Amino acid sequence: MSTDETIERIARIEEQERRLVLPRFDNDDAWALGCLLVELARARSAPVTIDIRRNGQQLFHCALPGTSTDNDAWIGRKARTVERFGSSSFLVGLRCVAKGRTFEESSRLDPDTYAAHGGAFPITIAGVGVVGVVTVSGLPQAEDHDLVVAALESYLDRT
């Protein structure tokens, strides 16, 4: 990805984070969003694991065929990145790349604990802020990210 493409992608993700804000988010919302993600993933024959957490509590988890425990490890690392930085894991990583550094160099965080790769997106409630994370693992990072965004867009259209 060129520098210009990185900067464009950063702007696009920042816009997604501003736009994809929910009016509320409870356990039933997590279930509905998770089921929607499963439907989207199955329609794309995407071998992904899906995870939704609110305030550290896992509310939804589904591992589709073709996934492994490695996907669970990636989910944990990407979700912790969102929880720490309050931004999508892809955006955190791209901001480092735009500065000419890796996330590991910039953050000095343990790469076995944190991963700034696409697929984890903050769950933000209007007037409240970030309360959780929705994460997908199993595809290339841009596709993981885009699947989560597509699900959030569709979910917001339904609410």
Q: Write the CATH number of the domain with boundaries 3-158.
A: 3.30.450.150
Name the residue type at position 12.
R
Phi, psi torsion values for 65, nearest 5 degrees: -55, 140
DSSP 117: -
pLDDT value at residue 62: 98
pLDDT value at residue 4: 84
Tell me how far CA of residue 20 lies from CA of 106, 113, 148, 149, in angstroms.
Answer: 27, 26, 11, 8
Both tokens assigned to 50 = 């899906």
Tell me the per-residue pLDDT of 17-68, one tens digit each, with 9 for 90 and over: 999 999 999 999 999 999 999 999 999 999 999 999 999 999 999 999 999 9
pLDDT band at 2 (very low <50, low <70, confident <90, very high): confident
Write down the pTM of the prediction. 0.94
Tell me the per-residue pLDDT of 97-142, one tens digit each, with 9 for 90 and over: 999 998 988 889 888 999 999 999 999 999 999 999 999 999 999 9
Mean pLDDT of 71-80: 97
85: enclosing H helix or E strand: helix 69-85
Structural domain spans, the chain: 3-158
Tell me how far CA of residue 17 lies from CA of 61, 87, 88, 105, in angstroms.
Answer: 22, 8, 8, 25
Pairing label, strands 120-125, 21-22: parallel
pLDDT band at 1 (very low <50, low <70, confident <90, very high): low
